[in-house]
A and B are shown apart, each in its own frame.
Chain A
């Protein structure tokens, strides 16, 4: 199975451990990635300024994969939403004409999927379970979907926007327990960070607090934005709410790689800001 890997802005520069673990776990599952040379930002940052500009930037990225005749895999929830939105918009004649005017070609129809959705739909739980060598049954983790994984449902038509379950199933496939908790669909606050930091931190704190109450070993994220909120801003939340979390935030491929028994360097635990030392000790690994 071969896909075009769309990295976006944050992942290749600020979250290499996500990229690294995603590539290596995919490799272990027999998935190949082709690089999207010339791919830019997905366009999402310009959406609030001018929706059309953002859609055109996204459409250009799609045209790169279209030339390769490969379906796109994304690592970031917002990139997934933006590219999917452009994909839908391309059915609109006037938008398509604008793309043509800008010289974008779409020789092949391609789809856009988040890495996790690809694992769920194209690989399947059974195959993933079969690849697990070290079941992480000692772990209780909080699965955080992030907003744009299944919403808006009119873009994706995937999973259940009200009662999502696919990511929980994937987390459970590693042997870990995916804790049932309230407000599962709560937003991390990432989009508000640039507007009102205090509010963003308050939003992130909500789930950090839940993780603490549930005594979770880690929060599992599938979006670099969400990780910025839960990991990079964890200290700020601790200060603001005068508490201690020390909650490791792992990317799902890291968790998956761990259960596959991949080398610790192959999943990049040393890049996690909150060191998952205790978690690794629990499953008999080392950081």
Chain B
């Protein structure tokens, strides 16, 4: 083991002392400016500036950082503290499980894009341009997704073709993409760089096609396709340029077969296939919430009640000529019985539909009943335009839609006037929200939180660092308009290109490892992991290396000490504490994402705190065990402070709640063992709250 100590511009001069066998102490000026050769499996103590700085310069996994600059030099604490800190770090490293380097070869530099909507098309286009082979899997017979169903795009009513057709053209100009329509993913195995995706292609019915359209002429089945009428055999002008049979409505009467100039087969079989890829992009887009579940609004029960999509398609195809319309916003959104979240784009969509209808029918009366109008950004202009065009806005959530004298009646309270209103109308449009594609996410093992991919939630963490080959793009990540979906798609393409620039990924991030000899498969770790990285594989606990973020919560939860976080195992923390804490000390176990940084801030801002406060940096406040508190108290500590992020702001999603949950049990146990149960404090300390930190430790030191 090597101990690299910075002299801190001459302020740290350590006496020659023996740190034990096989421990070499080296003192350097300007440690941070030097390059050191450190072997991958070597344990090393780096004593210099704050680990927040040094970690970036010495990204060596099995290192323990000693903060000489911010914890000794700047606060003006004595040199003996520096020595104590170094000795304790050595004691810790002796017991640490080294961090192993994991290598993931990028075997297949090919990508699978699931979903052929605007986002999927953009990803494919961008990747193909970079010479990457892409396989696109689209569920429907034609590409285009939701955008292809719309007449116009908001905010200004651009025809969808202005956006979608050039996109498809761009994509097709590169011959590195293969497109499967009518296809679905049936299974996925493997890991980054080496995935195997099995897919099933459903029969299209039309095998050769001249696009003459005679089949649709003779087809007797009329289908209402979200507000627009079509036949059971039909064509969408996107891609491919071939008719398709909708076998859900087809009666197999055979009329089309008789007139076909090409080849139609009603008994075509589906095809199963396996494709290998190094990365997968999920671009499955939007699914509309089934607004019939919002029963009080009478969708599917009352004639004239429709969804925004149906309304748009019915009006633009000339099927509907409304005189008086009520739009009901948030139908099934921000609702505990339906979708708890705001889908973000439905307010805009409703405004767009309102404009679409006032443009076509100048005499139409339009009411928009919304509990809140969320017209963020430039959509405020559209909102202004519509008010100027005479659209009436009502604030309040309508209670119900019912029929009276052949008319639809919307009953609502108008919060602006505080009056109960009833509006009679011929058309009621329900602006519903959108649901996530949990099915595909589940197949791919993407962890969801609030129904949407957690990668999205934690985007600020930089998920590109994860050695994970699954990316999301467009509205699959969260409901989004075309502009945002395209931006997101380019981001996903960029991530894939970045990934494929390497032949292998080397990961040195600390991971949880399970000692099978000790593990009783009690499954406590499974529930405690914030990332769903732990599962049972063949009756054994399995940690998914690509999902583990190294918080250490499982290691602390494990009752048999079988789960260990590399670089931070409970035994190592124990020896660290025992070596550091003396009679009358205060031990501060501080989360490295917030509370620990407050101590650095204390140094810069000259906020004083007593020298007997012994600070240990832990990955998470949730990664502290009762036994560690006991270690400190047995060594004679006056108190133990556990510092973490504020509620709902934990770097590891839920770690601080784990700490909070453990606090009470901790106190009970301390009481039973004869310690003062109030000698422990759990506090939320933000990264700049130096004064809060100082006042807490001063109080504890009294």
Contact A160 B404 (CB under 8 A): no
Contact B301 A182 (CB under 8 A): no
B430 shortest CB reach to chain A, Å: 14
Chain B residues whose C-beta falls within 8 Å of the C-beta of A163 in the assembled complex: 295, 301
Contact B402 A162 (CB under 8 A): no
Q: Does B335 touch A at the CB level, under 8 Å?
A: no
- Chain B contact-residue range equals under 10
Q: Does B42 touch A at the CB level, under 8 Å?
A: no
Specify which of B295, B296, B404 is in contact with A182 (CB 8 Å cutoff).
B404
Chain A residues whose C-beta falls within 8 Å of the C-beta of B403 in the assembled complex: 182
Chain B residues whose C-beta falls within 8 Å of the C-beta of A162 in the assembled complex: 295-296, 400
Specify which of B295, B400, B402 is in contact with A160 (CB 8 Å cutoff).
B295
- For B381-405 the 0/1 string (1 means CB < 8 A from A) is 0000000000000000000101110
Chain A residues whose C-beta falls within 8 Å of the C-beta of B295 in the assembled complex: 160, 162-163
- Chain A contact-residue range equals under 10
CA distance in complex: A162, B400 (Å): 9
Which secondary structure characterizes the binding site on chain B?
Answer: strand
CA distance in complex: A183, B402 (Å): 9
CA distance in complex: A206, B551 (Å): 63
* CB interface residues, B 317-367, toward A, < 8 Å: none
CA distance in complex: A182, B296 (Å): 13
CA distance in complex: A160, B301 (Å): 14
A115 shortest CB reach to chain B, Å: 26
CA distance in complex: A182, B424 (Å): 14
CA distance in complex: A160, B295 (Å): 9
CA distance in complex: A182, B400 (Å): 12
CA distance in complex: A254, B699 (Å): 77
* CB interface residues, A 135-175, toward B, < 8 Å: 160, 162-163
B528 shortest CB reach to chain A, Å: 25
* CB interface residues, A 181-218, toward B, < 8 Å: 182-183
Residue of A nearest to B296 (CB): A162
Residue of A nearest to B301 (CB): A163
CA distance in complex: A163, B296 (Å): 8
* CB interface residues, B 183-220, toward A, < 8 Å: none
Chain A residues whose C-beta falls within 8 Å of the C-beta of B296 in the assembled complex: 162
A240 shortest CB reach to chain B, Å: 21
B425 shortest CB reach to chain A, Å: 16
Residue of B nearest to A161 (CB): B295
Residue of B nearest to A160 (CB): B295
CA distance in complex: A157, B112 (Å): 44
B491 shortest CB reach to chain A, Å: 42
CA distance in complex: A205, B123 (Å): 64
Chain A residues whose C-beta falls within 8 Å of the C-beta of B301 in the assembled complex: 163
Q: Which of A160, A162, A163, A183 has the most C-beta atoms of chain B within 10 angstroms of its own C-beta?
A: A162
Residue of B nearest to A162 (CB): B295
B141 shortest CB reach to chain A, Å: 36
CA distance in complex: A277, B404 (Å): 32
- For B401-417 the 0/1 string (1 means CB < 8 A from A) is 01110000000000000
- For A213-227 the 0/1 string (1 means CB < 8 A from B) is 000000000000000
B442 shortest CB reach to chain A, Å: 28
- For B286-326 the 0/1 string (1 means CB < 8 A from A) is 00000000011000010000000000000000000000000
Chain B residues whose C-beta falls within 8 Å of the C-beta of A183 in the assembled complex: 402
B222 shortest CB reach to chain A, Å: 28
CA distance in complex: A109, B442 (Å): 39
A147 shortest CB reach to chain B, Å: 15
- For B638-679 the 0/1 string (1 means CB < 8 A from A) is 000000000000000000000000000000000000000000
CA distance in complex: A183, B404 (Å): 10
Residue of B nearest to A153 (CB): B337
A150 shortest CB reach to chain B, Å: 12
Chain A residues whose C-beta falls within 8 Å of the C-beta of B400 in the assembled complex: 162
CA distance in complex: A11, B400 (Å): 34
B538 shortest CB reach to chain A, Å: 39
A276 shortest CB reach to chain B, Å: 30
CA distance in complex: A36, B296 (Å): 39
B406 shortest CB reach to chain A, Å: 12
B479 shortest CB reach to chain A, Å: 26
Chain A residues whose C-beta falls within 8 Å of the C-beta of B404 in the assembled complex: 182
CA distance in complex: A137, B628 (Å): 81
Chain B residues whose C-beta falls within 8 Å of the C-beta of A182 in the assembled complex: 402-404
CA distance in complex: A182, B411 (Å): 13
CA distance in complex: A183, B296 (Å): 12
Residue of B nearest to A185 (CB): B400
CA distance in complex: A183, B301 (Å): 16
Chain A residues whose C-beta falls within 8 Å of the C-beta of B402 in the assembled complex: 182-183
Chain B residues whose C-beta falls within 8 Å of the C-beta of A160 in the assembled complex: 295
Residue of A nearest to B297 (CB): A162
CA distance in complex: A182, B302 (Å): 13
CA distance in complex: A1, B181 (Å): 58
B299 shortest CB reach to chain A, Å: 12
10 contacts between A and B (CB under 8 A): A160-B295, A162-B295, A162-B296, A162-B400, A163-B295, A163-B301, A182-B402, A182-B403, A182-B404, A183-B402
Other than the given A162-B295, A182-B404, 4 more pairs (CB < 8 A) read A160-B295, A182-B402, A182-B403, A183-B402
> Which residues of A are at the interface with B, using a C-beta cutoff of 8 A?
160, 162-163, 182-183
In the A-B complex, list the 3 residue pairs whose CB atoms are closest, starting with the nearest: A162-B295, A162-B296, A163-B295
